[in-house]
Chains A and B, each alone.
Chain A
């Protein structure tokens, strides 16, 4: 620091700050610095988990409360008369469930443009807007906000997945800051950050699944006192469970004993609104950026056209292709557990007044059994996914033959056991998939594409569930079972191929082009001129490489870039190595290359 020009001219703290510090220990300082950084990463993970948990609690709690209220004929007619609330609700659900279908087109662009943190913040804002529109339920408020939610679901989840995985990578970097590959910002060795991916994803899901518990608070604390008992609501219900069809056939059109005061509703909604706002603040203030500014600029600079294409190109990778059935199953499972299991089996048997318990138990079991995924630290990675399938498979068969009688509250314990088991399977499934993706794709440049694909397929599956609402229960269960078996088969195939070192085709991530105006980097306008000329050359080469790559799935690219770098290299250019941006397919070869390069480097 600056020595003091005159001791009298500065206040004591500044003096201290500026004065020479003999006991300055660089090593120790560095350690402290990276400890702070590690804590920051943990804070980010917890922030994202809690933020996501709160916003989903609010969203699901509100949606459930409103759907129940709007289901009640009296409430609807009295409060909204000729407004056609039922129609609006249908449109709203349609907006939420159908819009995500086109999410694949814009999600990567959105994430790359905003960055994961800001994407999560924006999405939480959209959810908060949806909460606020529930004060004033009109066609022109509810439907647009539902469409907005539908549009935000896939980006939110893709950025959450990317964020958590990326945090695991950062954590690894901060733990091993002395390693060369970290210092030089090279590609991390394969498998080094799996450990953190497993822990972080598990923690995320442990916290996130609690949202199902909190989502029932409005139901338990507010709506419960207004609900009629099962003798009234289930009066005309003839079949439950496997024999039923649709949601609940013959469910009474009125479910409320008496109508809630609108002031009370406003109060409840205000509490929810406050929670939504809190989660926005958490995303904004607690979560740090997932990528460093330079990285973010690079991510953004590969060209929007490329960003748009890359998710589709990634679908050529057989690993992703073979996981698609599992993605679909995961989506089917998440909606089936809420609509099929809790409604057609649970509510149909014990009545609406126990809905909150069913969902709470489901959420608790999901959250609790997400811990099981931590076992992947010791066990092979297929344990989680296949374990989930092993639980769900027999359960599905059991459900195919189980039709509890309506209006039989004595069945409640059995239902809770079934639902808890199902929750266990779901938890293994969800955490397993996220962890698996984080392990398979360690490249920080393509995380968002992979998670986008995953959640897009999930959204498609949710759309399918939305379409099949009226189907008979056995058909639904059979579809689930078939897809589960297919998913297991495909997954097993994938693992076998990987074990056989079969090459997979990965699209190359193009080199970043910094053609953007200088203000973004605070530099002279022409500062990038020379670079961009060079990168144009690179582009040509890359183009060729890509063709080669796609033909052989091998790694032929790195030499080219090396040569460019050498051309430039008179002044010990410690420029950031762009070479790393090249994608590597067939990672073993890549590691060898990496070794060579490392030697060449220093």
Chain B
């Protein structure tokens, strides 16, 4: 064509062009790959969050059930009364007195063989540091020291105001940490990276120290120890998980009972007190407000400053003053006589505050006040409506259930239970909070920020509000604040700003849902109170994984949880699928599948995006739904002789079941009797509309009574149906401590609550 040179140029040019194009192609392909990974990551996150929050809703419903039971279930026969007594009472009942409790720890002997840390009071900084080291080496603090520490902690907390005011003049830096949820590794990491607490280094821990993770006890010990050692520099706020009712469900109660078989109960009761005395918020330089959940449009800091915060033992249920006064009028004297026999549920908030005067002691011996419930939702119309509906449906169910259960029906009218009103007449100890006071506290412990303006009930969690940027602005202006720091929500990066950077969410439990799911973070406030965020991920494994591997791993975990949830709703799904299959061919379109699944599960997930992971590719976009459901079941079934529908029911109610077990197991022995199991199941299944025959339950109960002695070991029961959190069982060998027993590993993932 031309000279050699130009041919060379030409082919050189062609080469360059081809290289360019090849590179561009590879880049184009790679970018798409990354985008799809990102989408998977988001979907995975949605799965975990929606399941977690659905679980919290369940919790509220369950407590609605028990609350209602407490208020309105009049034993109409000897059988029922006995049952209630068994279910809700405990042996040690009569001999309790506050003073005995307090000095109880002194009578606990520590054997010479004990090699763990020993504490003496007043605590010194070395003690606190020694605790960290001991726990790092997996030692356990002896119950005596635990109780002693808790006792001292409470003495300290009682002196603190509801809103702790902190100044930066005295310490050079203040570090604020969010939820830890029993993840000791994260706490140790924070102290390692940021430095131990000291007069120059202040810390604020913003609630949710316990539940879900496996080292909640240890975290509390360390936090309380430092608080006693550096009272002016170390601050704790209460979170919604510092609440014994919530602990029943989310693992802390279980952890304590597993680690402290003899004194666990005692520890739990003392903790009830400690938790309700935790301050509600911390205010730095009158400029930065730190609280666990959020705020609402009625948040009133002056009111919060003044209330007796320990009145609110649990945010799950509360009898408020007006209602109880009314009942007192109604009941009159008649009930005081019979008060002595009425059992008070051990798991209800007991009025256990230190008597402020010795005179109170004597009246205290009589009866503890009972806080049976009214509405576990702060005055929002939705909540009340929901509660009313629950109540009426439960009432009907109870009636039906009584008949079914073959108990005598005496046709009594609904009235507040005797225990409730009789307790009111005792009201001596602690005045109950007003509805408004209670709501104020629930709001700051449970609320979440939202992008839209306004303030609406947080129906997803079942408590508190969603608050918009206008609510934040209003509050900041009203009290002349710069910004808000809160926690309560897990964030992929460990932190998140919103509302124009006026609200900072800080979350310190890394790998919360699953190894690799998220980072943890803490924030340091400098002299001008400008926030400086530090992120981390306390797991060596994640650092060696590629992004793809990390995402895959977390994704697998999420999908497993999701598939379990799908299985748990098999029957409902089947009927929904059938609706789309008018011609009864056994096939539905994938589009219909997505619609059906959403209408049953209500998780708000992008089902079409998830479809390829949940459904094997099908011919021309049609799904044989029956075999799909069968495959789901196959994955979950470990006992072929247990019918699938029963298992499905158990799965769906797993967390409720476990919570109920723990409530029945009032002496924390780890065993419940067959009878108790059957009775409770009957009540629950009526309430929840579960259709299981009596025979079926009996068979089931008998089959899990492995040694045929009439008692069911709770953990064995749950294990037998693989109802225990699985994450530690699957090859997560990295940081998971040798879980020879899945039951006491208490791993993080919330699973399908």
**A and B are partners in one complex rather than unrelated chains:** no
Binding site for B on A (CB under 8 A): none
